[in-house]
Amino acid sequence: MKDIHIHTGNFNGGLYFSPEEISLSMKALNVERYYFSSTSTGNLPFREVRREIESLVEMSHGRAIPFLWVSPGMLRHSRDLRPYFFRDFAGIKIHGLQGWNPHGKEIRRAVSIAGDNNLPVMLHTGEHEICRAGAYLRLCREFGDVRIILAHGRPLDECITVMKECPNVYADTAFMPVNNILILRNEGLIERVLWGTDFPVMRYFYDIPPEDYYRQKISEAINILGESDFTRITQENFNA
Ligand SMILES: [Zn+2]
């Protein structure tokens, strides 16, 4: 199986998701390929971020594929982000609460850089008005050639609206109740749902060991969706 939404790095309140932890856990969980970004971006000098990325890629023996997490500060430092592309990336990640205006020039420049490099963009979505799924409708429409992943798909009704209007838009399942995946399926959108977990960010929210959380999520998803749609969102949809 694959996972589109994994993190290494420093996280709120002093947690650290080391490359070792991620690499070992993903192996234990049999995740054959995972796409990750560094939550240290913006908190640590970029050379530290770079070291984390390089060591996770190396340790994972090709299972870990990096997304470049981009902050507005990085764009101010470099209009084309070139200094940050020290290696190939599989996509870029934008967290709306880091000072992005969902309609602003900066986010549009970032998405256009992704488009120029044929990379998808993952946008964090949440209940806050500047990063609700609906706040990105215009952006997703304007960049219809860029694959855009609405991480978490929140709120779900807005995520559905954006996905229906924009065939270039996907949703990931990080922290998404399995019932919401069912709703996406009923809306005819299952082919654009990607398995993502935000592993190991659940360490911040729950006491349960993150690998146990992950296994529970898998069995819940298989029970509720069935094997074939589980395979679809954890495997087939990644090939699109
Ligand atoms: Zn995340």
CA 2 / ligand 1 centre spacing (Å): 15
Q: Work out the pLDDT band at 121, boundaries 50, 70, 90.
A: very high
> What is the predicted pLDDT for the residue at 8?
95
CA 77 / ligand 1 centre spacing (Å): 24
Cα separation of 28 and 210, whole Å?
12
Q: Return the DSSP state at 33.
A: E
When pLDDT is averaged across residues 183-209 and rounded to a whole number, the result is 95
CA 72 / ligand 1 centre spacing (Å): 17
| CATH number of the domain enclosing 19 | 3.20.20.140
Ligand 1 (single-atom ion) residues, CB below 5 Å: 198
> What is the predicted pLDDT for the residue at 233?
98
Q: Please give the single-letter amino acid code of residue 124.
A: H
198 CB contacts (<8 Å, ≥6 apart)? 5, 6, 7, 151, 152, 174, 175
Domain count, the chain: 1
Q: Please give the single-letter amino acid code of residue 194.
A: L
Q: Where are the extended beta strands (E) located within the chain?
A: 2-11, 15-17, 33-38, 64-69, 91-94, 121-124, 148-151, 169-172, 193-194
Single pTM value for the model: 0.96
Cα separation of 19 and 28, whole Å?
14
CA 94 / ligand 1 centre spacing (Å): 10
Q: Work out the pLDDT band at 11, boundaries 50, 70, 90.
A: confident
Find how far residue 37's CA is from the centre of its chain: 8
DSSP per-residue codes, 118-169: T--EEEE--SSTTTSGGGGHHHHHHTTTS-EEEETT-SHHHHHHHHHH-TTE
pLDDT per position as a tens digit, 57-91: 999 999 999 999 999 999 999 999 999 999 999 99
pLDDT at 196 over 90: yes
Domain range for 161 is: 2-239
Burial 179-193 (b: 16+ CB within 10 A, else e): ebbebbbeeebbebb
> Which residues on neighbouring strands pair with residue 91, listed in sequence order?
67
Phi, psi of 183 (to 5 degrees): -65, -45
Question: Within 10 A of 227 (CB to CB), how many other CB atoms are there?
Answer: 9
CA 11 / ligand 1 centre spacing (Å): 10
> Which residues on neighbouring strands pair with residue 170, listed in sequence order?
149
